[in-house]
Chains A and B, each alone.
Chain A
Amino acid sequence: DQQVKQNSPSLSVQEGRISILNCDYTNSMFDYFLWYKKYPAEGPTFLISISSIKDKNEDGRFTVFLNKSAKHLSLHIVPSQPGDSAVYFCAASTQGGSEKLVFGKGTKLTVNP
């Protein structure tokens, strides 16, 4: 039973355009969501998070949107850069982020120059 789903295993965009990575979840108890970026041979790096009391959180080129009614969140990267090419993992937690993280399978983003 996969509680966090990233249905697109890969995404390819042109440099300068917007990248949109999607994530769906099934557990209504999740109230804290995170995005991690992972380069090959490195561990995941925390990117951005959002609490369920918000519907948007922005940090520079990265914005996460949360739609609680649809149990859906998305990560927008604008503008996309070749250095953004990596695998992006969505993760969710309960208790405001104090409980364990449940990860999706990841989406491999390729930004073409």
Chain B
Amino acid sequence: SAVISQKPSRDICQRGTSLTIQCQVDSQVTMMFWYRQQPGQSLTLIATANQGSEATYESGFVIDKFPISRPNLTFSTLTVSNMSPEDSSIYLCSVGSAGEQYFGPGTRLTVT
């Protein structure tokens, strides 16, 4: 298993601003995933981030809104850009294969 930390754990932001969420893993991993969990909804995959290549985004998510960086094998960031109240969610990073993923504690974002 892997130990994953995220910063910040929570934040309250004003609409129109951007927030960058950091994800740190205690071991080198090839693939990192970013998920969103809107209130009362399931976890939805935003994108897959491989080190050294562009992130792969799922349908409904675009790079301009959710730019991702993956500078090395232990770290990634997700930025939520030009936020609106609909972006209020828990954002989680995870690592591992799809068969067994390990999740960070999540970042609870509230947009006012």
Q: Beyond A32-B99, A101-B101, is A89–B43 a contact (Cβ under 8 Å)?
A: yes
Kindly identify which residue among B40, B41, B44, B98 contacts A98, using a CB–CB cutoff of 8 Å: B98
Q: Beyond A43-B105, A105-B40, is A100–B45 a contact (Cβ under 8 Å)?
A: yes
Interfacial residues of chain B within 4-57, with CB under 8 A of chain A in the complex: 4, 9, 33, 40-45, 48
Number of B interface residues in the complex (CB < 8 A): 23
Structural contact, B105 and A105, CB atoms closer than 8 A: no
Main secondary structure of the interface of B (DSSP, over half): strand
Residues of B within 8 A of A (CB): 4, 9, 33, 40-45, 48, 58, 92, 94, 97-106
Residues of A within 8 A of B (CB): 2, 4, 32, 34, 36, 41-46, 49, 89, 91, 93, 96-101, 103-106
